Amino acid sequence: MGSRGAAVQPRTQEVFEDLGVLDDIYGTGGRFPVAMRWDGKNQLGAIDLVERNAPTPGRPYSETWMIPQWRTIEILRARYEGLGGHVESGELTSLVQGSDDVTATVWRSDGTRELIEARYLVAADGARSVVRESLDVAFDRVGLDAPPMLLGDVVIDNLDYGYWHIWPTASGGLVTLCPMKGGDTFAFIVQFADSDTAPDVDHDGTPEGLERLLSSRTGYDFKVGKVPFVSILHPRTAILDRFRIGRVFFAGDAAHVHSPSGGQGLNTSVQDSYNLGWKLEAVLHHGAPPALLETYHTERHQVAAEVLRRSSGLLRRDRKDTKVGFSKRESDTHQLDLEYRDSPLTVERRPSLRDDVLRAGDLAPDAPCTDASGARVRLFDLFRGPRFTLLAFGDSPTPELSDDLVDTYRICSSQAAFFPAALIAPDRPARNAYADQGLFLVRPDGYCAVATLSPDDVRAYLSWQHLGAPASSNF
C-alpha cells in the first residue's frame, strides 16, 4: 500500500470528524512541508506549493493534511472494530446477481470457500476491480500527457526531513522526495521522460538500485536505506458510465481513476462511500424507497467527473512549470465547493435568493453556538451521526418528526422564553451562513437537502415524495 493517497483534503477532514477519527488523523500526520528546489547539490530556494487558509467559523478545516494511506486505513479499521465491527479478508472470484440479492464466491485466506448472499454489493476493490471484470464492465483508461513514473517510499539517511525536495530539471525527468508525516520515509517520484528508458522495479527498486538512480539523476549523493514500497505509475484517467449495475455499486478507484496531481483520488473515494452509506442504511433499515439508491450514481458520477477534470488540468499545469515541477495546490483541491444543487435529493423552496447565499445542495457549514447553560456547541456537533438534522432559524414553525430519524434544533439570536431549549448564535456566524428565518434539513453526509420556509416541505421530503414514493413511507 505504501504512502500513496497521503493528502487528506479539508472536506475529508469533515467526514473524518463525523466518523470520530479526526483526532487520530491529526495526532499521526502533519502539514505539507515547504518545497526546496534543487539543481544538483545546490539549493535554489524554498517555495510553498500548498494554499494555507485560516480557519473560519463555517470551514474549520482549511488546509490539506498529510498522513500515509496505510496509517489512515489502520485508524479507520481500529475505529470500526471499536464500534463492534470486524473486517474479514478473502479473494472474490465470482458473483451472480438475482432479482432480490447478489451472491459472491469468496476464497478465505485459510483456503476455504464461502458463498456470501446479500441484498447489495459495494465494489471498492480498486482500479483492477475483480467485481468490475466479473460483470464485464468497460473501463477504458485514457493516457495523460505525462511520462511514466517510478514511485514509492524510501528511507534517506542524509536528506533534511523538513522539506519537500524537488529537482525540477533532473536528468531524464523530474525527481521529488517528500517526507511523510507520521512515518520515517520519503515518498519519492522519478519521472522517465526519455522515451528510450522505462522504470524497472527489479532494477531500480532495490536500495542499491534506487540510490544509484536518484544520485545519477540529480547529482546529489544519496544514502538510501530500506525501500518499503515501490511501484510504477502510468498516469491515466478513467470513469465508469454507471456507478450502479443492478445490485452492485462501484466506489473509489473501481469507479474512477485520477491523475495523482492534487491528491484527489483517496478523498473522492472516501466521499463516494460516505454518500452511499447513509442511503443504504435508509433503504435497508428505515423504509426509504429503493429509488433513493439511484441517486448515488446521479450525484457521485457528476462529482467524480468534475474532480477528474480538475486533477487532469492540474497535471497539465505541472508539466508546464519547468522551474518548480509542480504548480501550487490551491483551494479548488479542497473539495469544499463540490455540491449537489441539481440532484433529485435537493429541494430549494425559497424565492429570490442572492447568488452568494447558501442553497439546498450545498455543504452545510459549521458555526459556533451556545446552549441554555452557556456551553459552546458547534453545528458540526449537531450533525454528527447517521441521522438527518433540522435547523430552525428564528421563529420558523417546525414539523412533528420522529426523534429516531431527525434531530431538530432551533437557532436564535438570544434566549427566548417561548423557545427555552434553543441554541443561541449571538455573534451571527450561524445566521450569516444560513438565514435569520427558515428551515434547513441537513443530510447525514452533511449536505443541505431542503431549504424552505414551510414545515410541509420538510415533511414531504422525509416521505420521499420528491422521488415518487408514497406519502406513507415510514422514514
Question: Within 10 Å of residue 46's Cβ, how many Cβ atoms?
Answer: 13
Nearest CA-CA partner of 13 in 426, 363, 438, 458 = 363
Between the CA atoms of 264, 450, 380 and 14, what dihedral angle is there, to the nearest 10 degrees? -10
Return the pLDDT at 196: 75
CATH 3.40.30.10 matches 347-467: yes
φ, ψ for residue 82, nearest 5 deg: -65, -25
| Euclidean distance between CA atoms 419 and 400, whole angstroms | 16
427 — pLDDT class (breaks 50, 70, 90): low
82, amino acid identity? G
Question: Given pLDDT bands bounded at 50, 70 and 90, which one contains residue 223?
Answer: very high
Highest mean pLDDT among 1-5, 181-185, 210-214: 210-214
Q: Element (H or E) spanning 38, and its range?
A: strand 35-39
DSSP state of 356: T
First-residue to last-residue Cα distance in the chain = 40
Name which of 195-204, 313-322, 326-335, 438-447 the model is least confident about: 313-322
Q: Which DSSP category does 244 fall into? A: E
Which residues have C-beta within 8 Å of that of residue 196, sequence separation ≥ 6?
none
Write the pLDDT tens digit of every residue in 129-143. Answer: 999 999 999 888 888
Worst-scoring range by mean pLDDT, 33-47, 135-149, 267-281?
Answer: 135-149
208 CB-contact burial (10 Å; exposed 0-12 / middle 13-18 / buried 19+): exposed
Residue 472 has a pLDDT of: 45
Res 350: pLDDT: 93
Pairing of strands 423-424, 406-412: parallel
pLDDT band at 160 (very low <50, low <70, confident <90, very high): very high
List the beta bridge partners of residue 368. Answer: 378
Give the pLDDT confidence score for residue 342 in this predicted structure. 95
How far, rounded to the nearest angstrom, does the alpha carbon of residue 347 sit from its chain's CA centroid?
Answer: 24
Residue 473 — pLDDT band, cuts 50, 70, 90?
very low
- Amino acid code (one letter) for 86: H
Highest-scoring range by mean pLDDT, 243-247, 311-315, 371-375:
243-247
Distance, CA of 277 to CA of 282 (rounded, Å): 9
Residue 182: φ, ψ to 5°: 90, 5
Express each pLDDT in 364-418 by its tens digit. Answer: 999 998 887 888 999 999 999 999 999 999 889 999 887 778 999 998 877 664 5
pLDDT tens digits for 328-368?
888 989 999 999 999 999 999 999 888 889 999 999 999 99
Rounded to whole angstroms, how far apart are CA atoms 86 and 469? Answer: 35
